[in-house]
Amino acid sequence: MPADDNWRLAASPDDRTRLRTYRDAWTDALAMVRARGQGGVVAEAGVLLEPDRALGTDPVPPTGTYQCRTIKLGIRDEGRPATTTLPAAPCTVRRDGDVLRLAQGQGAQRINGTLYPDTSARGVFLGTLALTDEPTPLRYGQDNLRDMVGLVERVADRRWRIVLPRPALESTLDVVEVTPGN
């Protein structure tokens, strides 16, 4: 599907709803983190976890090699901390014909998918979550428990985030930081 095609045609109805209600997921996740006494994690992350921080231009990272680091907010298991940060891992943005693809090659939980343009302030990510022992990610739409949908925004010079509201596993909101890397 060409990158300029409407992502709404590719997204499942559930994922379109998750994007429409991303702000609620963000508010719920931050409230849960603060209620469990971990507000310092949010403060330390700065602009990355500020909901209204998108810069409004160049929302999708250009092709290249990056580091992707996931911060999970609002962990739903009461026995665990409300936030978890996964180690940064190499990821790439590459052109595949007419589409931009983001692929995270290492880590226990890796996102892989397509980056769509949306507005001047944001793009949309449609992809899937691959787990440690899986060499190949599933295709989007193959397993709704692994489907990931998110907003792609630039939050600083050469720094982007993918905001993934209400993923099926673990958290209320995942924020993937994308920064240039080797």
Angle of helix 13-20 versus helix 22-35 axis, rounded to 10: 60
Residue 62 lies in a domain: yes
> What was the pLDDT predicted at 4?
47
Query: pTM higher than 0.85 for the full model?
Result: yes
Q: Is residue 18 part of a domain?
A: yes
In a domain, 2, yes or no: no
Q: What are the structure tokens assigned to 169, written together?
A: 């596993």
Which parts of the chain sit beneath pLDDT 70? 1-5, 182
User: For position 64, what pLDDT does the model report?
Assistant: 96
The number of domains in the chain is: 1
| CB distance 166 to 145 below 8 Å | no
Tell me, yes or no, whether 1 lies in a domain: no
